[in-house]
Chains A and B, each alone.
Chain A
Amino acid sequence: EPEVTQTPSHQVTQMGQEVILRCVPISNHLYFYWYRQILGQKVEFLVSFYNNEISEKSEIFDDQFSVERPDGSNFTLKIRSTKLEDSAMYFCASQNFGQGRIEQYFGPGTRLTVT
C-alpha cells in the first residue's frame, strides 16, 4: 500500500539555525499539506500546496517558513532561524480529491527539537 514518507525522523538543531524537513507524498496525489503538533496538543494546519504553489496557509506559517516541491516527488518545509517554540512533531500529508471524499494520508512525522 502506498504511503507518505518523511525524513529525518528526528532532527535536533540549535536556535537560530535553518532546518529542512522532507516528505515524499503518495505518487498520484495532487494536494500536499504540512501540519505541526506540539507534544500533547492538537494537530495544527500550517500550509496546503497544489499545482506548485501555496493554496492556503495559517497564521502560524509566517515568513520564517517556506515550502517547495523541488522535483516530482519531494515536498519540503524549510524553517529559517528556528526558535525554541518551533519544537514539535511535523507531519506531511497528501490527498487526492479524485476519490470523491476528503481523506488525507499522513507521514510518520519528523520530531524537531530546537535547543
Chain B
Amino acid sequence: GQSLEQPSEVTAVEGAIVQINCTYQTSGFYGLSWYQQHDGGAPTFLSYNGLDGLEETGRFSSFLSRSDSYGYLLLQELQMKDSASYFCAVRDGGFKTIFGAGTRLFVKA
C-alpha cells in the first residue's frame, strides 16, 4: 500500500528549532511537499523537494533523500503562530497526491 509516516505530535519552545520527519512508501514518486494547516483552516503550501537536498524558504527548510524515502521539515526561530498541523505529501507519479496523517506542533512560551 501507499503510506506516509510522520510523528503525531511535537512540542517545542518559542525561538527553538524543530524537525518534523516524514518517511514514505508509494508506488511512484514525483516530489515531497509540506503543508501547514491551522485549526479550522485550509492547508497552505510551505515547501517542495523534487530532488535530493535542502530547500530553504525563510524560517522553513525542507530536505529530501529519495534513496531513503525520507524527508523532513525544519522550522527555525519558532513563533507561537507556528502552532499548527504540518502534513507531508507525495505526488505519486500520476495526478494523485497522498498526504501523511499530520504532525501537530505545539509551541510553548
* A contact set with B: CB distance below 8 Å: 31, 33, 35, 41-45, 48, 50, 55-56, 58, 91, 101-109
Contact = CB atoms under 8 A, between A and B. Distances in A.
A45 B44 contact: no
B101 A41 contact: yes
22 contacts: A33-B97, A41-B101, A42-B99, A42-B101, A43-B35, A43-B37, A45-B97, A45-B99, A48-B95, A48-B96, A56-B94, A58-B96, A91-B42, A101-B31, A101-B48, A102-B33, A102-B50, A103-B48, A106-B35, A107-B42, A108-B41, A108-B42
A60 to B, nearest CB: 11
A106 B44 contact: yes
Interface residues of B, number: 24
